[in-house]
Structure 1
Amino acid sequence: MIEQAKNSATATTVDFNEAIHLPLSELAAQSKHVFVTGAGGFLGKAICRLLRLANIKVTGFARGNYPELSQMGVTMEQGDITDLSRVKEAMQSCDLVFHVAAKAGVWGSKDDYFKPNVQGTENVIKACKELTISRLVYTSTPSVTFSGVDEAGIDESTPYANNFLNFYGESKAVAEQVVLAASRDSFDKTKLKTVALRPHLIWGPNDPHLVPRVLERARAGKLKLVGKQDKLVDTIFVDNAAYAHILAAIELSKSNSQCIGKAYFISNDQPITMAAMLNNILSCVELPPVTKRVPSAVAYAVGTALEWLYKLMNKKQEPIMTRFVAKQLSTCHYFDISAAKRDFGYTPLISIEDGMKQLKASLNR
């Protein structure tokens, strides 16, 4: 049985394809050729799929080869986001950009994250300006505000973190500020309009990150909860995240757009305990619920020690625990998404419960 989320606002699932039809038609009337960085990623593919449902011409940019996107009708361009000339070449004739590409993770050097996430973003902005592309939707992250303490129903007035526990969050905070500043550049003759969206814990069928990691650790007997108290977290079903990006792009095109130069939290608007979320995933493949716990102080101490040891040994693989992960798993993270509802009409279309049904079906094929 699916464990129910503790709703801050009850999510009602509707027919997704029916609900998305009108927004996609509106976007198709505004955009003839869309560029998607990170097209081969989980969210990037979901955005590409929606765009192709509307028969919008899509060019996807990624480092790897993704035949499934080509079969979808996406024109794929391979390249590195840190190569400005390659980015600009691939963006020719586009009129809207979804910049989804980023290096995610919790381990690595500063250059590992700042080159793709900051320099790469600067390249996308430069290419937009040189090619007179007027709209850019940037995929950010709530990690830009996270400093290791509870985030209970925070909104966009919350400042960027003063102390980041990894280079991912820090690099995304810098990149987000670069994106938002680009739309306020009084010397920018192209009048680039930008918006940043902050989805938290994206999941769903074919998720290559959260779901397989949870299942792998559960099957190995290594999945544990951190802390004595279950804290609420926000998540977002992948199609809801893609839908929010479509709505933001539509709003950017309006002469009286409410979202230009702003950042927005987006979620399923259903805060749920981490234990409940993990157990929902486990129940999809009939694995027993997670019950083992580790004190938060112990997890943090282990993460600190492992980080020190891995740096000393110059190990590239991610430690099983880090300070960031320990804090993430022992604090609450749920957000007030009123601004996204108000400014570009976002409400989640697929509830956690129905999203889990889709996940279960995909895992048991």
Structure 2
Amino acid sequence: MEIKNVLVTGGGGFLGKAIVKKLVKKNLSVTSFSRNFYPDLENLGVLQIQGDLADKNAVAKAFRNIDSVFHVAAKPGIWGPFEEFFQANVTGTENVIFACLENKIKQLIYTSSPSVIFDENDMENVDESAPYPKKYLAPYPETKAMAEKKVISAAKKGLSTIIIRPHLIWGPEDNHMVPGIINRANKLKRVGRKDDLVDTIYVDNAADAHLLASQKLMENPLLSGNIYFVSQDEPVSKWEMADAFLDAAGLPPIRGHVSAKAAYIAGSIFEFIYTLFNIKKEPPITRFAAKELATSHWFNISRAKKDLGYYPKISTKEGLRKLKQWFSTGK
């Protein structure tokens, strides 16, 4: 069974484009399904189909004559109406699964997030057996968990799937995490203790994990339904990492500190005010962000190593060098 025609949802996004580039290098026929048109993808010779994941018919039509799907597109963030996250992350995934089954697509590689199992406590050396929590503090992890369950259910019904959970993706062209740190550089404060550790993953390593999942799933269909954490395999202090991002952008390190309790209380107050007055923009801090910033979260990637042959090719040091170069030259 051979794969020739591949579709990436969100192919113009940060991770999506990294996956697309690697697929193009393998001389595969690549289609991107996104809301927007991206000149970078046109330059790569990628067929672009504009559409909304919430449009079931548009998704089913776009998936015709496709062998493999990488479902990367999602609505990220820690603030916003639940319905918007549900439409993009749950309804969108339901439509992707329907289109895969309808078009008899050979496999679906789904991009999830470790936040789906975050229970507000330290998560250290956690593996894929960790359960979903009983409650969530934000719509993003809740809807991603709901979508993940849909993919697991689809695997039981015969769709060949693998779920990848990359943690804190970063690198050149990042349009989410690193810009968020840089834009708040003069307001940022360390939250909680200094010795907590987190996993991160350089964007090209995350893309490699997705391609390995596709390859290994073709070789071994018994992997279908599996979930894999992937990372740099090198837990780091989140504050040292944030300072490294700031340094790459030529900015000074974070100054100041607030306790975990104070940050959580502030998050509760901001959420109350922003909800009461229907303020759309993201609050300076939320309860979810406060808990995330005050805890360790790093994961055991032994399963990805064993089943997928995944090892991070680009070290954190090399990734930071590439990030600094991108800030300096735009390349």
The normalised TM-score by structure 2 is: 0.97
**C-alpha contact (below 8 Å) 2:194/2:237 kept by paired residues:** no
Shift of residue 258, structure 1, vs aligned partner = 4.6
CA displacement 1:5-25 (0-9 Å, x = unmatched): xxxxxxxxxxxxxxxxxxxxx
Counterpart Cα distance in 1 of 2:4 and 2:166: 26
Amino acid at match of 2:156: R
What is the distance in 2 between the residues matched to 1:66 and 1:259?
34
In structure 2, distance between residues paired with 1:273 and 1:31: 40
- Separation of aligned partners in 2, 1:164 and 1:259: 29
Aligned partners of 1:147 and 1:165 also within 8 Å:
no
Percent identity reads 48
C-alpha displacement at 1:229, in angstroms? 3.0
Secondary structure of the residue that 1:138 maps to in structure 2? strand
Q: 1:286 aligns with which of 216, 234, 250?
A: 250
Q: List gaps (5 residues or longer) in structure 2.
A: none
Could you say what the CA RMSD is over the residues aligned between the two structures, in angstroms? Answer: 1.1
State the structure with bigger RCO (CA 8 A, min sep 6), 1 or 2.
1
**SS at the partner of 1:253?**
helix
Unaligned runs of 5+ residues in structure 1 are 1-28, 186-190
Query: Which range moves more in the overlay, 274-283 or 92-101?
Result: 274-283
How far does the alpha carbon of each residue in 1:317-354 deviate from its partner, in whole angstroms, 9 at most, with x for none?
A: 11110000001110001000000011111111001000
Indicate if the aligned counterparts of 1:97 and 1:136 stay in contact, CA closer than 8 A: yes
Question: Which residue number corresponds to residue 226 of structure 2?
Answer: 262
Report the CA distance between 1:285 and its aligned residue.
2.7
Match of 1:117 in 2: 89
- AA aligned opposite 1:109: P
- The count of aligned residue pairs is 329
- Structure 1: how far apart are the matches of 2:223 and 2:282? 36
The alpha-carbon deviation at position 67 of structure 1 amounts to 1.0
Q: Residue 47 of structure 2 is aligned with which of 64, 75, 82?
A: 75
Contact 1:199–1:266 (8 Å) recurs in 2: yes
After superposition, where does 1:1-365 map in structure 2 within 5 Å? 30-185=2-157, 191-218=158-185, 221-254=186-219, 256-365=220-329
Work out the CA distance in 2 between the residues paired with 1:41 and 1:48: 10
> Secondary structure of the residue that 1:334 maps to in structure 2?
strand
Shift of 1:214: 1.2
8 Å Cα contact 1:42/1:207 also seen in 2: yes
Shift of 1:143: 0.6
Residues of 1 paired with 2:2 and 2:299: CA distance? Answer: 31
Distance 1:142 1:228 in 2: 21
Q: How far apart, in 1, do the equivalents of 2:31 and 2:274 lie?
A: 39
